[in-house]
């Protein structure tokens, strides 16, 4: 009898204890630190920024650079890319792991968490980064998914949106970001975790302004009023010097190395491209920064990329003051304001040269060369776009510029066409075929995207 009573009391005690575990056991004891379900904004933001910069300075910059002949593909896959052998499997990593499931998922988390935490400064930064990423992805592929993305198991087959819709989303994100970046109060604010601007919200506002102008400019074939809208978008609150450049720096140890440095160190399948080398005058102060001397101590298509972009700690540019001035130059030129266009053109060249460390006297002598500056009365859109092409070395935006304007002149490496878009990835064909086939019928790498038609 005593045994039964003791057993009964023991069972009752165990039941009570187990039933009230949540009242006395610290729930954090059972959290796997290597598999967290949430993270703080100051952890997610630098991960998103570094991931984006690694892609822009890595695969995206290299692949598009081969098409624009910023680079020559000399070995292995890049020799194939240079001859336009570019397949669905070649872009899997960019789409699936590095952008959508990588930095874009992080950006979406920043926006969501910041919104719920009443942290508009973080939200604005997340919106700008997402707008930039959507612009990049849509310019590479055309129609892409967005509104149905980032829902995990709730939606594994997101629908595609037209590029025109995506461009509306981009402008909406940037408009929202302008409001949030200017908010007087924010419960949490970016600081040292912000690898681009260190939490300087005024610079983020300027970046949003320049991006609004960039993506408006892209639509000029579809909108006759785009050039005037670009100038209006730039207004007076955009980049004013190279100090405003949006870029991400890398470290001086191998685990923090610049992506182009890593690629050249490990593979070196590219060299300088024929169009870029052909356009750069031997007196161009950027030449020795952009390219390394070849075996004959000259600069040629046998030269490797130089240390300005390919050193271990080189920064990866996302949007620069030089680009902003060339955007202004093109838009002003197309609206007939040649005086403004010429001034912006000269400033774009000057800013690009100064960024590589050239002194003012050297830059002035270079710009004074008639082949560089034919003068306000005679300079052309081709002059603007060729100098922008040089200034935008390593950046995928040059491929967009060529598709929009036809400058610089590119001679196909093989066949009679230069690629105008990326192929949709094999991973989408395998896992999201129904949605993909709604937009991919008849599409090849030579098919024009919406704004290019």
pLDDT value for 32: 56
Q: What pLDDT is stored for residue 236 in this prediction? A: 85
pLDDT at 39: 81
Say if domain 40-222+416-453 classifies as CATH 3.90.1150.10.
Answer: no
pLDDT, position 78: 98
> Which residues are bridge partners to 160 per DSSP?
145
Q: Which residue has the tokens 């499997």?
A: 89
pLDDT computed for residue 303 by the predictor: 98
Return the structure tokens found at 226. 């785009």
Cβ pair 179, 121 in contact under 8 A: no
Region at 87 (left for phi over 0; alpha for psi -120 to 50; beta for the rest): beta
User: DSSP string covering 210-223, please?
Assistant: HHHHHHHHTTTTT-
Residue 179 Rama label (left phi>0; alpha psi -120 to 50; beta): alpha
131 and 108 in contact (C-beta within 8 Å)?
no
How high is the pLDDT of residue 38? 64
Residue pair 326/312 in contact (Cβ under 8 Å)? The answer is no
Low-confidence residues of the chain: pLDDT under 50: 1-29, 35-36
H/E segment holding residue 446: none
Do residues 298 and 356 make contact, with C-beta atoms less than 8 angstroms apart?
no
User: What pLDDT, in 10s, does the model give residues 344-370?
Assistant: 999 999 999 999 999 999 999 999 999
User: Domain segments of the chain: what residues?
Assistant: 40-222+416-453
**305-336 per-residue burial string, b: 16 or more CB within 10 A, e: under 16:** bbbbbbbbebbbbbbbbbbbbbbbbbbbbbee
How far separated are the first and last CA of the chain, in Å rounded? 92
Q: Are 413 and 379 in contact (CB under 8 A)?
A: no
Contacts of 392 (CB under 8 A, 6+ apart): 322, 323, 398, 401
Give the per-residue pLDDT at 386.
Answer: 98
Nearest to 39, CA basis, from 97, 96, 93, 108: 108
Cβ(161)–Cβ(141) below 8 Å:
no
Instruction: Please report, for residues 108, 251, 313, 317, 382, the alpha-carbon distance to residue 255 in angstroms, rounded to integers and kept in the order given.
Output: 26, 8, 11, 20, 41
Q: Phi and psi (nearest 5°) for 160? A: -85, 150
């Amino acid at each position: 009898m005593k045994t039964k009573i003791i057993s009964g009391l023991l069972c009752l005690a165990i039941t009570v204890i187990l039933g009230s575990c949540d009242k006395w056991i610290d729930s954090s004891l059972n959290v796997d630190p290597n598999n967290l379900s949430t993270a703080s904004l100051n952890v997610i933001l630098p991960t998103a920024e570094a991931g984006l910069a690694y892609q822009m300075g890595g695969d995206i910059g290299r692949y598009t650079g081969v098409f624009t002949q910023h680079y020559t593909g000399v070995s292995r896959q890049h020799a194939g890319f240079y001859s336009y052998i570019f397949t669905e499997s070649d872009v899997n990593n960019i789409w699936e792991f590095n952008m959508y499931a990588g930095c874009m998922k992080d950006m979406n988390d920043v926006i969501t968490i910041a919104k719920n935490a009443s942290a508009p400064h973080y939200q604005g930064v997340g919106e700008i980064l997402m707008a930039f990423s959507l612009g990049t992805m849509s310019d590479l592929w055309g129609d892409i998914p967005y509104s149905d993305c980032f829902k995990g198991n709730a939606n594994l087959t997101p629908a595609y949106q037209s590029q025109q819709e995506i461009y509306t989303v981009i402008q909406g994100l940037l408009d929202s970001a302008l409001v949030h970046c200017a908010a007087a109060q924010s419960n949490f604010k970016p600081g040292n975790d912000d690898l681009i601007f260190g939490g300087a919200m005024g610079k983020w506002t300027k970046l949003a302004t320049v991006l609004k102008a960039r993506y408006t400019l892209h639509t000029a074939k579809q909108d006759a009023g785009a050039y005037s809208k670009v100038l209006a978008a730039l207004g007076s609150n955009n980049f004013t010097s190279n100090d405003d450049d949006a870029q991400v720096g890398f470290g001086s140890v191998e685990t923090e190395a610049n992506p182009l440095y890593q690629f050249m160190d490990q593979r070196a399948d590219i060299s300088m491209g024929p169009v870029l080398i052909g356009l750069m005058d031997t007196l161009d102060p950027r030449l020795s920064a952009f390219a390394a001397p070849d075996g004959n101590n000259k600069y040629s298509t046998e030269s490797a990329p130089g240390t300005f972009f390919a050193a271990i700690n080189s920064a990866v540019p996302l949007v620069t003051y030089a680009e902003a001035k060339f955007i202004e130059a093109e838009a002003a030129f197309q609206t007939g304001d040649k005086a403004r266009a010429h001034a912006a053109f000269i400033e774009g060249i000057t800013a690009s040269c100064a960024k590589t460390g050239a002194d003012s006297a050297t830059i002035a002598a270079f710009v004074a060369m008639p082949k560089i500056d034919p003068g306000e009365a005679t300079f052309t859109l081709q002059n603007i776009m060729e100098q922008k092409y040089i200034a935008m070395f390593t950046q995928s935006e040059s491929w967009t510029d060529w598709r929009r304007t036809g400058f610089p002149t590119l001679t196909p490496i093989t066949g009679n066409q230069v690629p105008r878009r990326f192929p949709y990835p094999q991973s989408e064909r395998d896992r999201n075929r129904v949605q993909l086939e709604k937009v991919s019928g008849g599409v090849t790498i030579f098919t024009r995207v919406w704004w290019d038609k």
